[in-house]
């Protein structure tokens, strides 16, 4: 517990500092895009959130495999907490996307391949969380691990959807890299770093909270057994 607290403090400090700098670069340093106008600035939040949602679900995928191999409950905890963190970032993607789409596409939502696969991805991992609440404790970890592995199939499908099918969704990263001016590119990179620190802080905090809850449950069970005897 002390070890996670030691790891958490520097990430929280870095998150605070980099987030302040990122906000400055987004709204002050980065220029207003000529075609889309001020609404383009939501791009700096939308894109990092999408990549970190993918990262969270990838962590769940790896942790689930390790759990099935080792049967170590710590990896089940990591997988579970990563899904919760990933759902937060995936929700940000689904909220910021329509805010951008309304003034640009003149619709809040369209069944574009990228949008549709992202929504399916969100439902998949919400279903993962619902599964954990609905099954018995002795089956929860195994079923969740299998679900976490199978559910990850949709992550690469979502990522490559704009290349696999015809789409109106903008392509952020091309073979030439980021096709934008340096101030915009710098703002995106800095915001991505800030969001990475936020992601790590949230994930460590959630794992720490879950382990504390499990410890309290163990203590309560021990106390109940002692009172019963």
User: pLDDT by residue (tens digit) across 207-220?
Assistant: 988 888 888 877 87
pLDDT in tens, 175-226: 666 777 888 889 999 999 999 999 999 999 899 888 888 888 778 767 766 6
Q: Is residue 205 part of a domain?
A: yes
Helices (H), the chain: 2-24, 43-70, 73-105, 113-134, 137-151, 154-164, 182-228
Q: Is residue 1 part of a domain?
A: no
Q: Is residue 107 part of a domain?
A: yes
Q: How confident is the model at residue 29 (pLDDT cuts 50, 70, 90)?
A: very high
DSSP classification of residue 168: -
| Section 44-62 average pLDDT | 96
Within 10 angstroms of residue 205's Cβ, the number of other Cβ atoms is: 17
| Section 50-55 average pLDDT | 96
Alpha carbons 26 and 160: distance in angstroms, whole number: 27
Give me the pLDDT at residue 177, please.
64
The residue written with tokens 């969100």 in the block is 122
What are the tokens at 82?
A: 């990563």
Instruction: Tell me the average pLDDT of the chain.
Output: 88
| Section 157-178 average pLDDT | 77
Q: Which domain holds residue 196?
A: 13-29+41-212
The residue written with tokens 């409950």 in the block is 73
Give me the pLDDT at residue 2, please.
58
Give me the pLDDT at residue 226, please.
63
Domain count, the chain: 1
Sequence-distant (≥ 6) Cβ neighbours of residue 85 within 8 angstroms: 56, 199, 202, 203, 206
| Section 141-157 average pLDDT | 94
């Amino acid at each position: 517990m002390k070890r996670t607290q030691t790891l958490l403090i520097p990430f929280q400090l870095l998150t605070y500092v980099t987030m302040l700098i990122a906000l400055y670069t987004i709204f002050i340093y980065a220029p207003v895009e000529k075609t889309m106008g001020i609404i383009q600035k939501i791009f700096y939040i939308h894109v990092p959130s999408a990549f970190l949602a993918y990262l969270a679900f990838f962590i769940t995928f790896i942790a689930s495999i390790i759990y099935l191999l080792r049967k170590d409950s710590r990896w089940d905890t990591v997988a579970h907490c990563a899904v919760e963190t990933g759902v937060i970032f995936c929700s940000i993607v689904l909220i910021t996307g329509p805010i951008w789409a309304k003034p640009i596409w003149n619709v809040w939502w369209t069944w574009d391949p990228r949008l549709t696969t992202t929504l399916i991805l969100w439902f998949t991992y919400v279903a993962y969380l619902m599964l954990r609440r609905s099954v018995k404790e002795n089956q929860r970890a195994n079923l969740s691990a299998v679900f976490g592995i199978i559910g990850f199939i949709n992550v690469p499908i979502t990522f490559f959807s704009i290349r696999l099918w015809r789409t109106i969704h903008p392509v952020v990263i091309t073979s030439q890299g980021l096709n934008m001016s340096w101030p915009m590119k710098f703002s995106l990179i800095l915001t991505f770093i800030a969001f990475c620190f936020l992601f790590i802080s949230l994930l460590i905090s959630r794992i720490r909270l879950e382990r504390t809850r499990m410890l309290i449950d163990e203590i309560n069970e021990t106390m109940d057994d002692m009172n019963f005897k």
